[in-house]
Amino acid sequence: SQQGEEDPQALSIQEGENATMNCSYKTSINNLQWYRQNSGRGLVHLILIRSNEREKHSGRLRVTLDTSKKSSSLLITASRAADTASYFCTAYNNNDMRFGAGTRLTVKP
Amino acid sequence: GAVVSQHPSWVICKSGTSVKIECRSLDFQATTMFWYRQFPKQSLMLMATSNEGSKATYEQGVEKDKFLINHASLTLSTLTVTSAHPEDSSFYICSASYSRGRGTEAFFGQGTRLTVV
């Protein structure tokens, strides 16, 4: 399966610190996407990185992709309490797109 | 970005009744649609993948007679939970994918919270 697997499962930091989450997948991909989900709500698309890209930025977010290691990382800089949420990656390949367990990020004010 | 609309956003139904959830791609034609289910504090689990005009492919353990998926057009897929029971209460999310020059991308609906009483 094309499941993305995030680590760590839970991360607790102070406001202003950086948060790094990792994602690994198993086979070749078209692209990899990161999503955020606040408790009990829908998904918010954060960023998409294609298989031929190595790094993308969006505001305080930085995503890297290493296709040789089949892994990606999401860095949130200067975290805020509002960043508290669960973060998921999905590794997409044609007709297969699944989620890992996610990383639960808690940013303490 | 592309927009996927899911309706309703929440529904409460009585045990034994059926509920239909719609997933529409508003500004693109979706070649593939995915349906997910999420239990509280857990990740999203892929239930089925559907391509327009063909039968859905269900994941292991998902009852196809219980969760009916119809993908009649390139912009609409429906999930019908038949004879719903309280254990079917969950958060259901769809996503729609399409291919364009730079590759294939997928976008998610806002989800439907189903409560069966």
Q: Do the Cβ atoms of B95 and A97 come within 8 Å?
A: yes
At A93 the pLDDT is 77
At A4 the pLDDT is 64
**pLDDT at residue B100 greater than cutoff 70:** no
Q: What is the DSSP string of B25-68?
A: ESSS--SEEEEEEE-TTS-EEEEEEEETTSPPEEPTT--TTTEE
Q: Cα distance from B82 to chain A (closest Cα, Å)? A: 23
Which amino acid, one-letter code, is at B93? Answer: I
pLDDT, tens only, A54-89: 999 999 999 999 999 999 999 999 999 999 999 999
**pLDDT at residue B102 greater than cutoff 90:** no
Please give the C-alpha separations between residue B98 and each of A94, B30, B103, in angstroms, as whole numbers: 10, 5, 8
pLDDT, tens only, B84-99: 999 999 999 999 987 7
Q: Cα distance from B1 to chain A (closest Cα, Å)? A: 10
Residues of chain A contacting residue B43, judged by C-beta atoms under 8 Å apart: 88, 99-102
At B117 the pLDDT is 96
Stronger pLDDT, A19 or A3, i.e. the higher one: A19
CB-based contact, A47 to chain B, within 8 Å: no
